Amino acid sequence: MRFLHTSDWHLGRSLHRVSMLAAQEAFLDHLVATAREQRVDAVLVAGDVYDRAVPPLPAVELFDDALHRLAGLGVPTVMISGNHDSPRRLGVGAGLIDRAGIHLRTSPADCGTPVVLADTHGDVAVYGLPYLEPALVRDEFGVAAAGHAAVIGAAMDRVRADLAARPTGTRSVVLAHAFVTGGEPSDSERDITVGGAAAVPAAVFSGVDYAALGHLHGCQRITDRVRYSGSPLAYSFSEAAHRKTTWLVDLGARGEVRAERVDCPVPRPLARLRGPLDTLLADPALARHETSFVEATLTDPSRPDEPLARLAERFPHVLSLLFEPDRPDAAPATYAQRLTGRTDQQIAEDFVTHVRGGRRPDERERAALREALQAARAAEV
């Protein structure tokens, strides 16, 4: 059986306030064409279909069109909600459109109920594990630990129990949206540590033939059977070096996996340039980036006059301008740089410390901040 594994479309997202809608439309054209040309048996979408819980209307229209086209091809699509999606909104009408071969899995209660597909070698049970926020689903799964590994482990127990009751030789696929240990993140993914420890070991998916993952934006192989497709488009300059692809996965008669990458269309490449302004404006080796989206980091000892306007004359699609003076006493130049690698909890605690003149929050205050962040996350669902 042949699958096309994709995730993290983030429909409605922009790049530094530049709309990505046309690029997203081009990707979906490519997705439908690939499904047709490669004669895939199903499309797997591992979450973050939209970029936010209440997506803009053009993004909804784009999603609706893609589903109609896939259904028109007769290609079943199995799709889960990610941490950016609203499960309730994405799952509206799931029972009805299920009949058209579009299978939306957005409820934690349905983790152990697969979409059953079949080929000449028998059945393939496809299980959808939507993004599981520990604080919201721990009661559903009866787990004491409020961590991602605990709730995904409990969901996988349901998967394995259902699979054990099926005929011998039934092959299995799981879709999940999580941060799996060994994955390489970028600056684009929303932090999911608020609901508990974020990392999930790859071994949690043992017992199934293939785990189609979403959340991390770089296409990557954790094991032969556990893979991220990555996002089809770059949504931050930290993804400038990514090769954007989907996985074309062939599942053999005994569950053996063969996977190859299918390149996604690149509407406009991203480039990260660094150096003194005069060098960036004159270096002939940078000519290939003149049509790229550009992030420029200037290292001049002092800030040049009108740097953005001067850069735009050569690089008309420059979107981001940073300053990192090349001198020993230089401090991080941007607020974003100071936040890199820090969790929401750490940022909130640092803010409290700053406004109180250096006095850090005590344990009771840290707990209150943690609860507030969890409540904010729950409100997005």
pLDDT of 380: 63
Distance CA 349, CA 103 (A): 41
Distance CA 281, CA 314 (A): 7
Backbone φ and ψ of 53, nearest 5°: -60, -35
Contact 194, 345 (CB under 8 A): yes
CATH class in words for 2-263: alpha beta
Pairing of strands 270-275, 115-119: unpaired
Classify burial at 127, counting beta carbons within 10 Å of its beta carbon; exposed 0-12, middle 13-18, buried 19 or more. buried
Q: What is the DSSP letter of 328?
A: T
Contact 45, 85 (CB under 8 A): no
- 31: alpha, beta or left, given left = phi > 0 and alpha = psi -120 to 50? alpha
Going residue by residue through the chain (381 aa), what tens digit of pLDDT does each one get?
999 999 999 999 999 999 999 999 999 999 999 999 999 999 999 999 999 999 999 999 999 999 999 999 999 999 999 999 999 999 988 888 998 999 999 999 999 999 999 999 999 999 999 999 998 998 899 888 778 999 999 999 999 999 999 999 999 999 999 999 888 888 777 665 544 457 899 999 999 999 999 999 999 999 999 999 999 999 999 999 999 999 999 999 999 999 999 999 999 999 999 999 999 999 999 999 999 999 999 999 999 999 999 999 999 999 999 999 987 665 555 566 667 778 888 898 888 887 776 788 898 998 899 889 888 877 765
**Angle separating helix axes 57-73 and 21-37, nearest 10 degrees:** 10
Domain ranges of the chain: 2-263, 270-331, 342-380
Positions of E strands within the chain: 2-6, 14-15, 18-19, 42-46, 77-80, 102-105, 115-119, 122-129, 171-177, 179-180, 199-200, 210-214, 220-223, 226-228, 245-251, 257-263, 270-275, 293-298, 318-323
Instruction: At 196, list the tokens.
Output: 């508990």
> Whose structure tokens read 């049509």?
291
Q: What is the DSSP letter of 98?
A: G
Q: What is the DSSP letter of 11?
A: B
pLDDT of 374: 84
Comparing CA positions, the residue from 208, 216, 219, 206 lying closest to residue 248 is 219
Comparing CA positions, the residue from 77, 9, 12, 14 lying closest to residue 47 is 9
Instruction: At 106, list the tokens.
Output: 């957005």
pLDDT of 329: 60
The whole-model pTM stands at 0.84
User: Using alpha carbons only, what angle is made at residue 194 by residues 190 and 200, rounded to the nearest 5 degrees?
Assistant: 80
Q: Partners of 180 in the beta sheet? A: 200
